[in-house]
């Protein structure tokens, strides 16, 4: 069973930035997204994209640290 999620234009742009290697995620249960070193303007959308399984940190990250973000297979499909 495939669940199709409607993504806003902003959410798709955020996923494209991750795909381009321009994004990082902070550590924590509600990771914040940074694009080009700056905090993303819509952190609630960032949290939702992580919780929906569309993006994730590239490696383990501790609270207060940032690591590169990557798309999951579902995230790549969402912007295909």
pLDDT digits (tens, 9 = 90+) for 10-26: 999 999 999 999 999 99
| Sheet with 33-35, side-by-side order of all strands | 38-39, 33-35, 23-26, 66-71, 55-57
**Predicted local confidence at residue 1, as pLDDT:** 39
Q: For residue 27, count other CB atoms closer than 10 A to its CB.
A: 15
pLDDT over 50 at 2, yes or no: no
Query: Taking 70 as the threshold, does the pLDDT of residue 50 lie above it?
Result: yes
pTM of the model: 0.89
Report the pLDDT value the prediction gives residue 6, as an integer from 0 to 100: 83
What pLDDT sits at residue 34? 97
């Amino acid at each position: 069973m495939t669940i199709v999620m409607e993504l806003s234009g902003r959410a798709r742009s955020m996923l494209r930035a991750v795909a381009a290697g321009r994004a990082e995620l902070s550590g924590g249960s509600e990771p914040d997204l940074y694009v080009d070193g700056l905090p993303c303007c819509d952190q609630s959308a960032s949290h939702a994209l992580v919780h929906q399984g569309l993006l994730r940190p590239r490696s383990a990250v501790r609270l207060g640290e940032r690591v590169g973000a990557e798309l999951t297979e579902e995230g790549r499909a969402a912007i295909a």
